[in-house]
């Protein structure tokens, strides 16, 4: 019955139900890979109050976090999450590296996305990974784009602060295809094809319905184009169109 409430996420829910069984009936502490906010929400919904659920991503305000599911007699420490935060040091003479460059370089090493947490490209450059994958990354990641890089273990507390650019849009509808078309400056046809191909996420979940209606504060991600938070300004034009803002994450 529970799976009916999680359409499209059935396989993930089955995995969490197995974790729940292990923690409850074998009194185990279960440590998950990095989960995005959508997946974290599912974990908390499925596990309920029978067990303790804690999460940590290595950074303050991390989006992607590992989760611990366990009986309440366990005393959980930050070390139990087995996360390594790494600072990337490099010479910027070949240009500044960006979030997508770091992620691409890590994926090219054959590492699963769930082993990598947040990537933060502010004044300094950091990423989080599972403790188990760190030795391999340190040994293998020597270059990002044209820049040689040095990886340094980081033990200070890093707070993630997102910077964004705000732009205003007028939309005739809050349909997903129209939102993607307007905000990412692609044709309606290209937007529709991208949505049907599974290249668009709303609140970290793939949505393949072009007519899906977006809401205030929805996070819309478009593969290879970036992501934007949709803010409904509660205004309409004389023609009845919606006035919205898009907060584009740098």
Longest dimension (CA), the chain: 63
**Is residue 61 located within the same domain as residue 114?**
no
Cα 186 to the center of its chain, rounded Å: 23
**Is residue 171 located within the same domain as residue 104?**
no
Selection from 134, 79, 145, 87 nearest residue 111 by Cα: 134
Final residue before a domain boundary, out of 100, 122, 154: 154
**Is residue 150 located within the same domain as residue 168?**
no
| Total domain count, the chain | 3
Classify residue 188 as exposed, middle or buried by CB count within 10 Å of its CB (0-12, 13-18, 19+).
middle
Q: At what angle do helices 176-183 and 188-196 cross, to 10 degrees?
A: 120
CATH of the domain at 176: 3.10.290.10
| Structural contact between residues 17 and 31, judged by C-beta atoms closer than 8 angstroms | no
**Is residue 66 located within the same domain as residue 99?**
no
What pTM was estimated for this model as a whole? 0.85
Phi-psi region of 162 (alpha: psi -120 to 50; beta: other; left: phi over 0): beta
**Is residue 71 located within the same domain as residue 88?**
no
83-108 confidence digits (pLDDT tens): 999 999 998 877 788 888 999 999 99
Q: What angle do CA 153, 156, 157 make, to 5 degrees?
A: 125
User: Residues 137-149, buried b or exposed e (16+ Cβ, 10 A)?
Assistant: bbeebeebeebeb
Question: For a pLDDT cut of 70, what percent of the chain falls above it?
Answer: 98
- Per-residue pLDDT averaged across 178-189, rounded? 96
- Residue 159 belongs to some domain of the structure: no
Looking at per-residue pLDDT, the higher value among 93 and 168 belongs to 168
71-80 confidence digits (pLDDT tens): 999 999 999 9
Q: What is the spatial distance between Cα 212 and Cα 210, in angstroms, rounded to a whole number?
A: 6
User: Which residues form the domain of 88?
Assistant: 83-154
Dihedral angle over CA of 90, 95, 96, 98, nearest 10: -110
196-245 confidence digits (pLDDT tens): 999 999 999 999 999 999 999 999 999 989 899 999 888 888 898 999 99
Cα 115 to the center of its chain, rounded Å: 12
CATH of the domain at 146: 3.30.70.330
């Amino acid at each position: 019955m529970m799976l009916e409430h999680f359409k499209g996420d059935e396989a993930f829910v089955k995995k969490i139900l197995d974790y729940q069984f292990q923690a409850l009936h074998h009194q185990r502490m279960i440590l998950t890979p990095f989960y995005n906010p959508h997946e974290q929400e599912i974990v908390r919904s499925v596990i309920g109050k029978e067990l303790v659920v804690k999460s940590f991503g290595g950074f303050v305000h991390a989006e992607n976090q590992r989760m611990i599911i366990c009986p309440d007699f366990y005393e959980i420490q930050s070390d139990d999450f087995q996360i390594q935060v790494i600072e990337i040091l490099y010479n910027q003479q070949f240009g500044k590296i960006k979030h997508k460059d770091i992620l691409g370089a890590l994926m090219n090493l054959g590492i699963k996305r769930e082993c990598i947490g947040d990537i933060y490209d502010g004044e300094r450059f950091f990423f989080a990974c599972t403790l188990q994958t760190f030795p391999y990354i340190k040994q293998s990641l020597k270059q990002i784009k044209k820049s040689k890089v040095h990886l340094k273990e980081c033990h200070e507390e890093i707070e993630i602060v997102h910077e964004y650019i705000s732009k205003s849009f007028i939309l005739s509808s809050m349909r997903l295809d129209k939102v993607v078309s307007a905000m990412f400056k692609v044709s309606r046809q290209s937007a529709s094809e991208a949505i049907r191909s599974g290249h668009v996420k709303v609140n970290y979940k793939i949505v393949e319905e072009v007519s899906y209606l977006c809401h205030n504060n929805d996070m819309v991600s478009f593969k290879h184009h970036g992501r934007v938070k949709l803010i409904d300004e509660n205004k309409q034009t004389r023609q009845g169109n919606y006035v919205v803002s898009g907060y584009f994450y740098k």
